[in-house]
Structure 1
Amino acid sequence: MLLVYTHKISPRLKYVFKHICTRVLGFKVDFTTKVEEFIAHDGLKMSYTRQQLGNEFFVKSHEILYEQGLSDIEINVHQWENTKCFFYNGEKSTMPFDIFAASFYLLARYEEYLPQVKDEFGRFIATESIAYKHGFLHQPVVDIWAYKFKAILRELYPDFVFPERAYSIKPIIDVPSAYNFRLKGIMRTFGGTLKDLFGLKLKRLYNRYAVLFSLKHDPYDTYKYIINKQKQTKYKFLFFFLIGAFSTYDKGINVNKKNFKSLIKHVGDYCHVGLKISYFALENNLLLKKEKGKMEAIINSSLIASRNSYSKLNFPESYRNLVELEIKEDYTMGYPNHIGFRAGSCTPFLFYDLDFETQTPLKINSYHIMDYALLKNKSFLDKKKTLNEVISEVKKVNGQFVPVFHNYTFSNLQHWNGFKELFNIILGSANEG
């Protein structure tokens, strides 16, 4: 156990130290404000306060962990060895930066509470983030800093046996529409037919009716392929099915269709199943409660995980709604069009509500790459290189890699050529060594 001496034990301080020490590095941490207790402790120890007590391992504290609410914080980002850091704390500190304050800033998504420019869906944009602006979005900096912290502890306490964690993957399969042509109903099929005709999309029109007359396979029906892939790895895939009503934004399948329910149950026999929350349920807790209830009736168990339509987060209301409905895990934190680490970490973390200054039980699993972001790379070799780079970053800190693919990514549509191979690279990355 690591004992931390500090002048004040605040909720923020406990939250971030427990994330770094326990969640990332795997050992327990406790706190004291009593100098005598600190001196008497003969195990791992450090002081985190304004001034060093003696010659102990000391990190000079930044005020952010003792404040309440939001303040106008000046942030200067500097190069630090192989990464970037901020909240410089002087040469007297054993670590030149306050990694705990900086980690809290990123994990609590402090910047997402502040006024910002949003995109057309009302989403926080990657280019507005401190990580993008200062060139460290591609690194899980919180985990990198944690490992630097561990290296210093190891030097000071060579006899202490530190736990080791292993690299893992958690593939996400997002299903905004289970089928391209099947189960769409008469009106939507008629509307789609007219659209194909007026748009002169004759090949699509032919495929539509070939599928409807069972002459061809629906292009979005890739579930057999994905389940076969699931059987080849010990890491469970997590499917998110959209079951919300048809709307301007969501164009899924009617949840009352028997075949759709059967599909969800079938997938649930092999993989984990979560709820893809519809666009309008993000701002309507009654609607979200209904969707949760419907999904629980289909899977016949409590809903553990959810993910928001369009990866949209209304911060912090979206997470408060999940906490209220006792949904335990979220998989929305990430950027659809940018690869990287939105919260600076590849370790699941708990949602800290800055308005109420409290740690909640909601576990946030941020994703690091979405298939759409890879489409920016024109050649397959570039896609492969980009994917391997992000995998490499996660492997360096033995973190959890969370990629998001869609059911149609595995189709034979030209748009998605080569993506099956990219998915195989992800599965293979966890089987190496």
Structure 2
Amino acid sequence: MLLVYTHKITPRLKYTFNHICKRILDVDVKYTSKVEDFIAHESIKMSYTKQALSSELFVRSHSLLFEQGLSDIDINVQSWEDTKGFFPTGEGSDLPYDIFAASFYLLSRYEEYLPHVRDEFGRFMAKESLAYTHRFLNQPIVDIWAYRLRDLLVKKFPKFKFKERRYNVRPVIDVPMAYFFKKKGLLRTIGGTLADIGRLRFRQLYQRYSVLMGFKRDPYDTFKWITTKQKQSKSKFVVLFLLGDYSTYDKNISPNKKEFVSLIKSVADYCEVGIKASYFALEDISILKKEKQKIESIINKDLCAIRHSFSKLNLPKSYRNLVELEIHNDYTMGYVDTLGFRAGTCTPFQFYDLDYEVQTPLQINPYQCMDFALLKYQSQLDKTEHLQKLIDQIKAVNGTFTPIFHNYTFSDSERWKGYRTLFNLILESEE
């Protein structure tokens, strides 16, 4: 057990140390403000305060973990070997940067509470982030810092044996529209037919009626392939279905249709099933509650996984709603158009509410790659190369790779050509 001496034990401090020490390094951690208890402790220990006590491992603390609320923080990001660091500690500290204060800044999404420019959907985008500006978005920097701390502890306490965690993959399949042609109802089918004719999309018109008459499989119906992959993989897939009402933003088929319900049940036999919350559920907890109840009535168990439409988050409200509805796993933390680590980590972490200064039960499962982010790379070789670099970064810290693909990504569409191969590359990376 690691004992941490500090002059003041705060919720922020416990939250951050628990993530770095317990979740990443898998070592139990306790805290004390009593010098005599610290001196008497015979296992690994460190001090996190303004002044070292004696010859223990010492990290001079920044004030961030002892503050409350938001403040205008001056951040100067500097190079640190092959990565970056901020909140310098000065002479005497065993680490040149306060990795705990810096980790809290990234994990709490402190910058997303501050004024920033949003896109047309009201999202915080990668270009607004500290990580993008200072070019460390492509690194799981919190995990890298944690391993540097571990290296120092190993040197200081060579008899202590750390556990080794294993790299793992947690694939997410997002299902905003289960079928492209099937089960849309008469009015939507007529509208689609007229649109095909008006835009001279005769190939699509032929495909539409081949599907509707049962001669061809719907292009978005890739669920047999997905469940086959699940049977072959040791990674547990998370499949998230959109059950919201039809709107400008959400165009799935009705969750009241028997075939759709049967599809969800059949997928739930093999994969973990959750919901893709509708666009309007983001702002209205009553809508979110109805969608939660709907999926629970279908799968006959409590909902444990959710993702918001368009990867949109309004902090802290979005996550407070999930806490209130007792939804325990979120998969929204990431960027739709950019590969990388939005919260600086590839280890699932708890949501910390900065307004209430409390750690919540909600586990945030950050994703590092969405299929749309790979579209910017023109060739299959480029896509594979960038994906492999991402995998290598996560493997280096034995983290969790959470990619998000859609059911239509695995279709025969020209746009998504080669994506089944990319998905296989991800699954094979765990072997």
TM-score w.r.t. structure 1 length?
A: 0.99
Tell me the residue number matched to 2:425.
425
Unaligned residue ranges in structure 1 (runs of 5+): none
Q: Distance in 2 between matches of 1:250 and 1:398?
A: 37
1:9 maps to which residue? 9
Post-superposition Cα deviations, 1:22-70, rounded to whole Å, max 9, x if no partner, equal 0000010001101111111111111100111122111000000000000
- CA distance in structure 2 between the aligned counterparts of 1:114 and 1:252, rounded to whole angstroms: 34
2:50 aligned with 1:50: yes
Q: Distance in 2 between matches of 1:430 and 1:55?
A: 41
Q: CA deviation at 1:91?
A: 2.1
Note if 1:184 corresponds to 2:184. Answer: yes
- Residue 4 of structure 1 deviates from its aligned partner by 0.6
Between the two proteins, the alignment pairs up a number of residues equal to 431
Aligned equivalents of 1:31 and 1:37: distance in 2?
10
Q: In the alignment, what sits opposite 1:145?
A: 145
Query: What are structure 2's unaligned runs of at least 5 residues?
Result: none
Q: Residues 28-427 of structure 1 correspond to what in structure 2 (within 5 A)?
A: 28-427=28-427
CA drift of 1:197 comes to: 1.1
Partner of 1:23: 23
Compute the displacement of 1:98 (Å): 0.2
- Find the residue that maps to 1:231 and give its secondary structure: helix
Which digits, 9 at most, give the CA deviation of each residue in 1:329-376, with x for residues without a partner? 000000000000000000000000000000000000000000000000
CA distance in 2, matches of 1:49, 1:273: 45
Q: How many angstroms apart in 1 are the aligned matches of 2:57 and 2:150?
A: 12
CA distance in 1, matches of 2:281, 2:223: 26
CA distance in 2, matches of 1:144, 1:3: 21
Which secondary structure state, in structure 2, belongs to the residue aligned with residue 363 of structure 1?
A: strand
C-alpha distance in structure 2 between counterparts of 1:176 and 1:289, whole Å: 18
Query: One-letter code of the match for 1:386?
Result: H
Distance 1:62 1:198 in 2: 63
CA–CA separation in structure 2 for the residues paired with 1:239 and 1:135: 32
- Counterparts of 1:102 and 1:389 in 2: how far apart (Å)? 24
Aligned residue identity for 2:425 = I
- Aligned residue for 2:275, secondary structure, equals strand
Instruction: Specify the SS of the correspondent of 1:375.
Output: helix
The TM-score, its normalising length taken from structure 2, stands at 1.00
Q: Secondary structure at the match of 1:190?
A: helix
Between the aligned partners of 2:91 and 2:132, the Cα distance in structure 1 is 28
3-state DSSP of counterpart to 1:46: strand
- SS at 1:162's partner residue? coil
What letter corresponds to residue 422 of structure 1 in structure 2?
Answer: L
SS of the residue aligned with 1:241?
Answer: strand
* TM-aligned CA deviation for residue 235 of structure 1: 1.0
Q: Which amino acid aligns with 1:194?
A: L
Q: After the TM superposition, which segments of 4 or more aligned residues of structure 1 sit over 2 Å from their partners?
A: none
Match of 2:149, as an amino acid?
F
